[in-house]
């Protein structure tokens, strides 16, 4: 045994068989010498009763001082119970982010997520994740890389946040699949951009204008009956767009005033409907070859595009800033105006979390504000009279 200095390494004799020369100061640090004269630094350690040999690199590109420093760090980790050999092996075998994304879509998303969610995940992977870090190894991705990717889309903050969410799920699964160490998700502490939830509510005058636009489109036949019926059902039920567009006649129970949806964003649910909804449904022509309430042009298929008809109808009504989803918000605000509480509205809309319904809480203060204003005006008038 001798101290592995540059002079000692270079003067080490070549023998007929491979042998190791061990350092006499740092136990476990050594030099392997082949009969060909090739010399490689290594470290020997024991982790949980198992002996491990880890190659540090060849002499020349790696100096004795560099090898000694690496050996010291590895031996320290081994004493603390970590298996540096296993971690290095995992790094060498680590798949690329693109390969991880493919497994993610195949083994997780396709099995656990609904079709619309699957499409959104695929869109994020294809457009925002793989083009930027797809060729990198999963174990090489750090927090700075995620922050840089998130920052690259600061001009589209909502999309940047959605992509960050996908990445977080992706790297959590990398830990589950033993590709990265536990607790190493690089998305941790990367802050999302602020998002302002937009909620537009229709007034009575705006409802009247929208009703007139629908009436004119129906009698002028400028829009299909399916599109007009879909918009009316969305207004009168507070349902999500996909719930109405995929509604089947088998899910409609007019005698019970119910729509029994086998699946929705929050799972199976019952939508309670009123007579006005029943009247709309009774007027819709049933097509024997099509099971959908909002039938499309192709046999057996629903209407797939409501955005273009909606843009034309809202323009005719002078409601250029109203989105289809705002019809759902307006349904909720109408319920509040009639005195319904937030718990009831949550049930009507099929919210799975109280926080989702809480966004309408400020609307419940409207009657209080009106009363406060009326009282203040009365007092003000009395003061002037005196």
What angle, rounded to 10 degrees, do the helices at 84-93 and 64-79 form? Answer: 110
Is residue 381, in this structure, part of any structural domain at all? no
- Residue after which a domain boundary falls, among 36, 62, 92: 92
* Cβ-contact 154, 193 below 8 angstroms: yes
Is residue 152, in this structure, part of any structural domain at all? yes
Q: Hey, what's the torsion of the CAs at 89, 93, 95, 100, to 10 degrees? A: -70
Strands 19-22 and 29-33: antiparallel
- Residue 185 is predicted with a pLDDT of 94
| Alpha helices (H) in the chain, listed in sequence order | 6-11, 64-79, 84-93, 97-103, 110-112, 115-124, 130-133, 143-152, 157-176, 204-220, 225-237, 241-245, 275-283, 307-316, 326-337, 342-349, 354-358, 366-385
Q: Are residues 218 and 128 in the same domain?
A: no
Give the separation between CA 296 and CA 317, rounded to whole angstroms.
Answer: 25
Q: Are residues 80 and 162 in the same domain?
A: no
- Residue 55 is predicted with a pLDDT of 85
Q: Which residues contact 207 (CB under 8 A, 6 or more apart)?
A: 235, 330
Q: Are residues 147 and 122 in the same domain?
A: yes
Q: By residue range, what is the domain housing residue 306?
A: 204-367
What is each CA distance from 276 to 110, 203, 281, in whole angstroms?
39, 19, 9
DSSP letter assigned to residue 55? E
Q: Are residues 262 and 219 in the same domain?
A: yes
Q: Are residues 306 and 244 in the same domain?
A: yes
Is residue 101, in this structure, part of any structural domain at all? yes
- Residue 85 is predicted with a pLDDT of 62
Is residue 199, in this structure, part of any structural domain at all? no
Give the separation between CA 76 and CA 71, rounded to whole angstroms.
Answer: 9
- Residue 167 is predicted with a pLDDT of 97
Q: Total structural domains in the chain?
A: 3
Is residue 297, in this structure, part of any structural domain at all? yes
Is residue 302, in this structure, part of any structural domain at all? yes
- Residue 357 is predicted with a pLDDT of 63
- Residue 293 is predicted with a pLDDT of 96
| Two structure tokens written together for 201 | 């509510």
pTM of whole model > 0.85? no
What angle, rounded to 10 degrees, do the helices at 307-316 and 204-220 form? Answer: 110
- Residue 91 is predicted with a pLDDT of 54
Q: Are residues 154 and 273 in the same domain?
A: no
Q: Are residues 155 and 277 in the same domain?
A: no
Is residue 373, in this structure, part of any structural domain at all? no
> In 3-state terms, what secondary structure has residue 311?
helix
| Length reported for the chain | 386
Q: Are residues 215 and 346 in the same domain?
A: yes
Give the separation between CA 286 and CA 301, rounded to whole angstroms.
Answer: 13
| Two structure tokens written together for 181 | 């160490």
Q: Are residues 358 and 267 in the same domain?
A: yes
Q: Which residues contact 290 (CB under 8 A, 6 or more apart)?
A: 296, 299, 300, 301
Give the separation between CA 163 and CA 350, rounded to whole angstroms.
Answer: 26
Q: Are residues 71 and 106 in the same domain?
A: no
Is residue 231, in this structure, part of any structural domain at all? yes
Give the separation between CA 172 and CA 382, rounded to whole angstroms.
Answer: 67
Q: Are residues 208 and 352 in the same domain?
A: yes
What digits encode the pLDDT tens for the residues 282-297? 999 999 899 999 999 8
Q: Are residues 208 and 357 in the same domain?
A: yes
> In this structure, what CATH number is given to the domain that contains residue 224?
1.10.443.10
- Residue 367 is predicted with a pLDDT of 60
- Residue after which a domain boundary falls, among 66, 92, 118: 92
* Sheet containing strand 269-272, strands side by side: 252-253, 258-261, 269-272
Bridge partners of 272? 258
- Residue after which a domain boundary falls, among 26, 60, 92: 92
**pLDDT lower than 50: segments of the chain:** none
Radius of gyration of the chain (CA): 33
């Amino acid at each position: 045994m001798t101290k592995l200095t540059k002079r000692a390494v270079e003067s080490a004799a070549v023998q007929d068989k491979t042998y190791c020369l061990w350092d006499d100061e740092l136990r476990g640090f050594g030099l392997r010498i082949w009969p060909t004269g090739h010399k490689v630094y290594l470290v020997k350690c024991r982790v949980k009763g198992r002996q491990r040999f880890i190659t540090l690199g060849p002499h020349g590109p790696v100096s004795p001082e560099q090898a000694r420093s690496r050996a010291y760090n590895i031996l320290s980790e081994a004493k603390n119970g970590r298996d540096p050999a296993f971690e290095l092996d995992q790094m060498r075998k680590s798949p690329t982010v693109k390969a991880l994304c493919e497994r993610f879509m195949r083994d997780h998303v396709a099995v656990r997520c609904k079709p619309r969610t699957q499409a959104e995940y695929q869109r994020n992977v294809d457009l925002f994740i793989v083009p930027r870090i797809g060729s990198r190894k999963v174990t090489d991705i750090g927090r700075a890389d995620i922050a840089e990717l998130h920052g690259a889309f600061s001009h589209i903050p909502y999309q940047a946040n959605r992509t960050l969410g996908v990445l977080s799920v992706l790297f959590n699964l990398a830990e589950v699949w033993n590709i990265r160490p536990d607790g190493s998700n690089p998305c941790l502490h990367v802050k999302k951009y602020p998002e302002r939830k937009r909620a537009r509510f229709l007034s009575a005058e705006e409802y009247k204008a929208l009703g007139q636009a629908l009436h004119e489109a129906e009698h002028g036949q400028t829009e299909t009956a399916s599109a007009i019926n879909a918009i009316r059902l969305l207004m009168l039920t507070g349902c999500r767009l996909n719930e109405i567009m995929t509604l089947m006649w088998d899910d409609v129970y007019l005698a019970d005033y119910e729509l029994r949806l086998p699946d929705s964003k929050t799972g199976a649910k019952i939508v309670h409907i009123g007579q006005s909804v029943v009247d709309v449904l009774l007027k819709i022509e049933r097509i024997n070859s099509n099971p959908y309430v909002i039938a499309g042009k192709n046999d057996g298929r629903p209407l797939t595009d409501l955005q273009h008809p909606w843009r034309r109808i809202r323009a005719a009504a002078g409601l250029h800033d109203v989105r289809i989803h705002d019809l759902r918000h307006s349904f909720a605000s109408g319920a509040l105006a009639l005195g319904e509480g937030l718990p009831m509205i949550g049930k009507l809309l099929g919210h799975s979390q109280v926080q989702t319904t809480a966004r309408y809480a400020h609307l419940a203060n409207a009657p209080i504000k009106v009363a406060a204003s009326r009282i203040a005006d009365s007092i003000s008038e009395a003061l002037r009279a005196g």
